[in-house]
């Protein structure tokens, strides 16, 4: 038994935010039917690096899902979706607000058809407000949410995070909302409801003290490179082999152990540095002491010494490092999957880990329209059918 076994999810979205939410629910047992445009499918099938004509990203984003083809712009496709939604627990969509309403698939229509339905609506700016009609991608949400302004080196052009973090944050917020709505419905006897997630709000929600610091002090946080301003020491330090290690010595007792490990008893015992607020005033002095020590040692030597002192430390991983790391392997964060074409592919494991109802890869990402036959016989498979 998986945690979401028996939950029926209809995924209407494309690319990243909506489908990542669907993938997360599917990993834990939900039966996810993904609706794709006939002939071309989700554009993600052709994004980034392809193998045999299909993106290997697709193999991760769409695992455990079924694929059916329906043109949502045509009456036949709309009727097929309404028939699926009538039996669904969850509908996921990430179109611009108003798009589904124009196709007769909006919240009011589907809720009247199925009062128990939970609908996850992910968009750039949400379903209300003066910007709701603007198109919005993750990169715009990251910028408006405040993340892009903080990312990069001081005085340089703000840079993007290397992945579509705005989309993923929106998807995860959406999954939280869906689970809360299902709990309200099933544990408390409530009706279904819609979950309204905006990309920029999902980014803004993780911006920590950004707003209260501005409100209380007029402080506008700026780019700080590898440092974490206001929390000291926490930075990347150059080693003798030209690599960098990340050291987080910002707990008071950790700081003392760190200073002892690098032979700086003067800093270890300085009462002005006993707590973070005092250390912040001496950031350059502390960072200089740490890098003076790391710059004379290889990264392996630095890591060994600081781990022995129980100081959080680590190197900057590339995917090649990840793929061979024993911690990743021990916790099954790298899984061997088989694609629909029968080829082997290493893919990310399932997060979070559940002790009693763990997630699993039950079947590979589908071929386009692979489950169209389900539509012909009523959409959702019976509980006694294979794969149900």
Catalytic positions, written as ranges:
167
Give the integer Cα–Cα distance in Å for 386 and 152: 50
Cα 121 to Cα 91: distance, rounded to the nearest angstrom: 8
303-307 own/partner pairs: CB under 8 Å, 24+ apart: 303/245, 305/261, 306/247, 306/258, 306/261
**Quick one: tokens of 311?**
């100081």
**Residue corresponding to tokens 């629909």:** 340
Phi-psi region of 126 (alpha: psi -120 to 50; beta: other; left: phi over 0): left
Cα–Cα distance, 144 to 204 (Å, whole number):
8
Where in the chain does DSSP place strands (E)? 8-11, 31-36, 50-51, 54-55, 65-69, 90-93, 118-123, 194-198, 234-238, 244-248, 313-315, 334-338, 344-348
Q: With the CA atoms of 303, 308, 309 and 314 taken in that order, what torsion angle do they form, in degrees rounded to the nearest 10?
A: 30
């Amino acid at each position: 038994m998986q945690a979401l076994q028996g939950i029926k999810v209809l995924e209407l979205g494309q690319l990243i935010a909506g489908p990542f939410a669907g993938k997360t629910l599917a990993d834990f047992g939900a039966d996810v039917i993904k609706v794709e445009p006939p002939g071309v499918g989700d554009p993600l099938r052709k994004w980034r690096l392809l193998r045999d004509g299909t993106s290997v990203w697709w193999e991760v984003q769409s695992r455990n899902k079924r694929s059916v083809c329906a043109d949502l712009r045509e009456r036949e496709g709309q009727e097929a979706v309404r028939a699926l939604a009538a039996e669904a627990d969850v509908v996921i969509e990430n179109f611009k607000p108003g798009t589904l309403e124009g196709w007769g698939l909006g919240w009011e229509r589907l809720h009247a058809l199925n009062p128990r339905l939970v609908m996850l609506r992910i968009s750039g700016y949400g379903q209300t407000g003066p910007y709701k009609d603007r198109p919005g991608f993750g990169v715009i949400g990251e910028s408006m949410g405040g993340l892009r302004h903080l990312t990069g080196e001081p005085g340089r052009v703000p840079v993007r995070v290397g992945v579509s973090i705005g989309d993923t944050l929106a998807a995860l917020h959406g999954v939280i909302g869906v689970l809360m709505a299902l709990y309200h419905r099933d544990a408390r006897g409530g009706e279904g409801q819609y979950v309204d997630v905006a990309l920029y709000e999902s980014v803004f929600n993780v911006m920590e003290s950004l707003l209260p610091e501005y409100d209380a002090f007029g402080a506008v946080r700026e780019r700080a490179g590898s440092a974490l301003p206001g929390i000291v020491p926490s930075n990347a330090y150059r080693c003798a082999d030209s690599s960098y290690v990340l050291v987080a010595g910002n707990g008071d007792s950790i700081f003392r152990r760190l200073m002892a490990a690098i032979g700086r008893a003067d800093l270890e015992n300085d009462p002005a540095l006993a707590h973070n607020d005092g250390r912040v005033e001496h950031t350059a002095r502390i960072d200089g002491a740490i890098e003076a020590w790391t710059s004379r040692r290889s990264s392996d030597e630095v890591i060994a010494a600081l781990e022995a002192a129980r100081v959080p430390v680590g190197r900057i991983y590339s995917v090649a490092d990840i793929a061979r790391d024993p911690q990743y392997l021990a916790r099954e964060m790298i899984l061997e999957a088989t694609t629909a074409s029968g080829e082997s592919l290493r893919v990310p494991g399932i997060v979070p880990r559940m002790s009693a109802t763990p997630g699993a890869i039950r079947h590979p990402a589908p071929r386009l329209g692979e489950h169209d036959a389900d539509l012909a016989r009523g959409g959702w498979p019976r509980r006694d059918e294979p794969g149900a």
